[in-house]
A and B are shown apart, each in its own frame.
Chain A
């Protein structure tokens, strides 16, 4: 589904953020990307739907080359859902309008169709009562669940999560993770940048560990948590699992 091969990316002439990154996410697979901050995890996941350009290598998404100048990027992006660290709901639109906008403008659905789909997804994330509120009236956890619903409303073939819980208060993390776990169990293809190792051990098939722009470890979940091969991954794990 997602094939990343030999991706190199520089900011300016000297600072390399991604170094020869190669990995793949199969259909129905859940892959967790972790690593210290500044290791390039978010940059890598944003390269997948071309929110970030990269200079070398290639990424193929469902058979379409992302970094081909002839690729219709808006059309491609519409097929992959993305959830951001800071939710990025549209503050000037009501919750239901947040869910409908792209359905109508990008997929060309009628307003009634879009609303019906939006309401169904709001029900799924348990926020039906908030449909006509504005994002600022919701808690962080609720906003992030709306953001997931907004992405799902486009009927995506895969979902990208960029640190979906790092901006949340601790007591709101689980309500968001619960939605993500359900998605994973339904067989959604997911690439998730997160530090939530509980989530990783529960639903991930594979774990990718990145450090300084490199994919240091790319292993099955059991291998990764059982005995990471690299020293850096061992250190990282012992640090975040020790508390």
Chain B
């Protein structure tokens, strides 16, 4: 059945697939993970705060984000953001937002919900004595978080955070609903143009598989090293 397959189409489109597609995918993954971690940590701190209202708001946000399919959020956000921007700035027309910005904001918002749960578990894994010792030395709440609690929480949770980032890497392929040329989008464009669907989708799957496997292996190695250090 492989007689009439033309794998040369892959070789011909490699520069486009990797320089355009993969660059977009990796950039989106890295920035979304970074933003998700920053906002996720803030949300985790809100959830653990002694102000009940802050905790409730953060809890609602996390539940809301986790109850929606990512693909719908991407879709809706892309079409809604221009109008939200218009409403916020009072501009006469919907604000033009680039595809990259729109998807990045969506992924950061979405990932923040997941990262916040990981960081919350990480913060809770630190014994209460640690922030107490920090306070006893005169450190303020924010200093105690910044120098004592968060570094330890982050280190304890690093393997989980990286695993979630691998999931995120795969999830970025969902931006195809917006016809954005990420790696999968680029592969799909070539596939449609040259009528080589099987070849291109097989290749795309193999690339996602290889990268995710390699990254998972790296995380396992790291996990073993952290376990020895402690």
What residues make up the interface of A, taking CB atoms closer than 8 Å to B? 49, 51, 73-75, 77-82, 84, 86, 88-92, 101-102, 105-107, 136, 150-151, 154
Is A88 touching B132 in the complex (CB atoms < 8 A)?
Answer: yes
Is there contact, CB below 8 Å, between A102 and B139? yes
0/1 string, B117-156, CB within 8 A of A gives 1: 0000000000101101111111110010001100110010
Partner of B138, one of A75, A86, A88, A91: A75
- Given A92-B152, A101-B147, is A106 in contact with B138 using a C-beta cutoff of 8 Å? yes
Give the A-B pair count, Cβ closer than 8 A.
64
- Bound Cα distance A73, B143 (Å): 14
Query: Which residues of chain A are near B155, meaning CB under 8 Å?
Result: 92
Residues of B within 8 A of A102 (CB): 134, 137-139
Verify B148–A77 contact, CB threshold 8 A: no
CB–CB B148/A90 < 8 A = yes
Contact between chains at B136 and A77 (CB < 8 Å): yes
User: Could you list 23 examples of A-B contacts with CB < 8 Å?
Assistant: A51-B135, A73-B135, A77-B137, A77-B138, A81-B136, A84-B132, A88-B127, A88-B129, A88-B130, A89-B133, A90-B148, A90-B152, A92-B152, A101-B137, A101-B139, A102-B134, A102-B137, A102-B138, A102-B139, A105-B147, A106-B143, A107-B138, A154-B138
Top 5 closest pairs, chain A to chain B, by CB: A78-B138, A88-B133, A102-B137, A82-B136, A106-B138
Excluding A102-B134, A106-B137, A150-B137, 14 further A-B contacts by CB distance (< 8 Å) are A49-B136, A74-B138, A75-B138, A77-B135, A78-B138, A80-B136, A81-B136, A86-B129, A88-B130, A88-B132, A105-B143, A105-B147, A106-B139, A151-B137
Chain A residues, Cβ within 8 Å of B152: 90-92
| Complex-state Cα separation, A241 to B70, whole angstroms | 67
Cβ A84 vs Cβ B133 within 8 A:
yes
B230 at the interface (CB under 8 A from A): yes
Minimum Cβ distance to chain A for residue B145 (Å):
12
Report which residue of A80, A81, A92 has the largest number of chain B beta carbons within 10 angstroms of its beta carbon: A92
Q: How far is the CB of A76 from chain B (nearest CB, A)?
A: 8
